[in-house]
A and B are shown apart, each in its own frame.
Chain A
């Protein structure tokens, strides 16, 4: 009787363990690529991965950037968070702050050895002794213009702030605006202002000790230059986000704009003449010799404590970064998402996309610009938790509004920014 019971128990145990082994690992991926064509391309990739990996099944649940900062922490608190979550650097600090992200050191090291990460794309995710996310795609701000408009006005592509202002003044005629720069209290304005700060020697907003170093002559000069250009922008640019700037460029109402990419709108809503679409590095201060820009690598965090799920997620991420798959991932939005790996930048699957092929020279320029990219709060090698709130509250853009909307001097606006950032950092 005893032997019989033991035998049954043993068999049950074996059956249960084999059943557990046979059960595929199910992973939920939250990303913020909401447009239907991006969701569709993601699904095509997931279907392919799931078919090739019956033991790991990944499903997507698209979210919105507008809600994710509130939704993700609430979901993790309720135990309903995803297993993988798209991120930008400041969002990672928020999720790390609630202890919901796990390091991906080994995977990052393996992928770097195999594919070679562009250093600027992974650096914002490496701090406190770990790598917190795997870079997925890069975005960098460039200056966009029409070659024909510049030729007609008899001007060269501006390389410095003074050249840019002179060009914008010449392009401002017949109801058109020489430049379209936003002044909204919103992330797009943070990005465009910071693009000028990078080019004015004011890239660092933190000191080594975590105190704020926003208020300095270089930042004031950057604000002054931005203010001069902004005066040549459409009057409603104080409420612009990315879409309005693209629309202004597509309708040829704006001569030059700063944007990650305009290829999609130019192709679908404007002339679609690849030879006429110009892209160049963001002009730099007159005293500088080289242009830089703001660049954002979007990354994927592992947000599950379950080791089996972590292993499954790593299989998926490794598969995604393979050049044959990675190019198709990037071209879910062709001409916008840039590669974060060296072999991804040469992948046939990327360059063979019809839009990327058509705008090859523009995409090459964007890739080159991205290599000189920086991101506010992630430039000193140390990352301070307050950057999440500083970015979330759009303090750079709010400071700019003090100058553009309230008529304060650049020095006072920057001083306001310094005080507000210091207040946030002190909490």
Chain B
């Protein structure tokens, strides 16, 4: 058996499993998107592309799409900076580095609801710790509502979500860093390269494959985040944090427009699958070029 056929044979069980658990719901969503079902469990009639016309002409959809794009970008930037810093630190040799590498994962394994309760309490103006701390440090002169304004709510949510996810990203980057041969750094040092030059000429280029994979996985994961947003702001204030997953939930289960929610889901799936396909091709091309 040739190598590609053998490879296909190995991935077939996984593909069948995915088809069973994802294919059918996705197909149902597509069927629903061509109907006019309201409350879950009821039936509807065939309406063709009416829902697609409604959704694509709806500003709420495009606003949520814009917020999702902002959410993904902001999370990517913040998480990459936080994770890279921590990964570089954990790649050094110092006493307790193994404990630190294990300890760092803590925020990632804590259940989302616990993370949300912790942060809501910390940021509260009634008994929270952050406001008094900022007042003592002279940063603010009176308590502020971190979720009181549109910009503040989105920025605070990005910080909470990044705090939760950056350890995972940091560990992935750390794995990438440990694969970089140490003799490259040794040779660079002998040639007189400083820390910054070693980072820009060795670490950063050789970390690219890891960052590319993280970029794809991270984008897909970030885009689909619902729990943190829903539990902290429920899409507010005044829709400021209403991303596409939140809009889908609100449309289906608060507005009782299941078919419209299914339509947004289908459009979102197409968008994410296109992104994944293009990103994977770019990654393959990049590997082949190397």
Chain A positions near chain B (C-beta within 8 angstroms)? 69-70, 73-74, 76-78, 94, 97-98, 175, 183-186, 234-239, 244, 247-248, 251, 253-254, 388-389, 392-394, 398, 401-402, 404-406, 424, 427
Tell me the smallest distance from the CB of A40 to a CB of chain B, in Å: 23
Given contacts A247-B126, A251-B126, A405-B237, A239 and B39 within 8 Å (CB-CB): no
Verify if B170 is at the interface (C-beta below 8 Å from A): no
Is the Cβ of B145 less than 8 Å from the Cβ of A77? Answer: no
* Contact A405:B125 (CB < 8 A) given known A73-B40, A97-B39, A184-B234: no
Q: CA–CA, A248 to B145, complex, Å? A: 14
Binds A, one of B83-91, B254-262, B266-274: B254-262
Say if the beta carbon of B176 comes within 8 Å of chain A. Answer: no
Is the pair B256, A388 in contact by a Cβ cutoff of 8 Å? yes
B248 at the interface (CB under 8 A from A): no
Q: Of all chain B residues, which has the CB nearest A186?
A: B234
Q: Which of B127, B143, B236, B252 contacts A239 (CB 8 A)?
A: B236
Does chain A have a CB within 8 A of B171? no
CB of A30 to closest CB in B, whole Å: 15
Please state if B147 and A238 are interface contacts (CB–CB under 8 Å): yes
Q: Taking CB as reference atom, which chain B residue is nearest A183?
A: B237
Q: How far is the CB of B85 from chain A (nearest CB, A)?
A: 30
Chain B residues within 8 Å of A175, by CB: 143
A248 to B121, CA, bound (A): 12
Contact with A along B187-230 (1 / 0, CB 8 A): 00000000000000000000000000000000000000000000
Q: A402–B150 Cα gap in the complex (Å)?
A: 11
Q: Could you show 8 A-B contacts with beta carbons less than 8 Å apart?
A: A77-B42, A183-B237, A235-B148, A236-B125, A236-B147, A239-B145, A253-B126, A254-B126
Q: Indicate whether B232 reaches chain A with its CB closer than 8 angstroms.
A: yes
Contact of B124 among A73, A244, A393, A404 (CB under 8 A): A244
Q: How many pairs of residues, A versus B, come closer than 8 Å at their CB atoms?
A: 110
Q: How far is the CB of B7 from chain A (nearest CB, A)?
A: 40
Q: In whole angstroms, how far apart are the Cα atoms of A184 and B127 in the complex?
A: 19
Q: B residues engaging A (CB < 8 A)?
A: 38-42, 120, 123-127, 143-150, 153, 232-238, 240, 250, 252-257
Select one of B40, B124, B126 contacting A74, CB under 8 A. B40
In the complex, chain A residues whose CB is within 8 Å of the CB of B254: 69, 389, 392-394
Within the assembled complex, what's the spacing in Å between the Cα atoms of A186 and B147?
14
A392 touches B256 (CB 8 A): yes
Residue contact A406 to B238, C-beta cutoff 8 Å:
yes
Given A73-B42, A406-B238, also A239-B256 (CB < 8 A): no
- Is A185 touching B127 in the complex (CB atoms < 8 A)? no
Q: How far is the CB of B33 from chain A (nearest CB, A)?
A: 17
With a CB–CB cut-off of 8 A, which chain B residues contact A76?
41
**A247/B127 in contact, CB under 8 A:** yes
Q: How far is the CA of A98 from the CA of B123 in the complex (A)?
A: 42
Q: Which residues of B contact A424 (CB under 8 A)?
A: 255
Give B283 Cβ to nearest chain A Cβ, in Å.
Answer: 38
Give 10 nearest A-B pairs by CB, closest first: A77-B41, A235-B145, A236-B145, A73-B41, A239-B147, A401-B238, A405-B238, A248-B126, A392-B254, A405-B237
Known: A74-B41, A239-B147. A234 touches B237 (CB 8 A): no
Interfacial chain B residues near A70, Cβ < 8 Å: 40, 252-253
- Chain A residue with Cβ nearest B127: A251
Which residue of A74, A183, A234 is within 8 Å of B143 (Cβ)?
Answer: A234
Question: Are B144 and A235 neighbours in the complex by a CB distance under 8 Å?
Answer: yes
For residue A391, which residue of chain B has the nearest CB? B254
In the bound complex, what is the Cα–Cα distance between A94 and B234 (angstroms)? 22
Q: Cβ of B236 and Cβ of A238 under 8 Å apart?
A: yes
Known: A253-B126, A393-B250, A405-B150. A94 touches B41 (CB 8 A): no
Closest to B254 in A: A392
Distance, CA A69 to CA B250, complexed state (A):
11
Chain A residues closer than 8 Å to B236, beta-carbon distance:
184-185, 238-239, 401, 405
B124 and A238 contacting across the interface, CB-CB below 8 Å: no
Residues of chain B within 8 A (CB-CB) of A239 are 120, 145, 147-148, 153, 232-233, 236-237
Taken together as a complex, chains A and B put the C-alpha atoms of A254 and B126 apart, in Å, by: 9
- In the complex formed, the residue of A with least CB distance to B236 is A185
- B253 near A184 with CB under 8 A, answer no
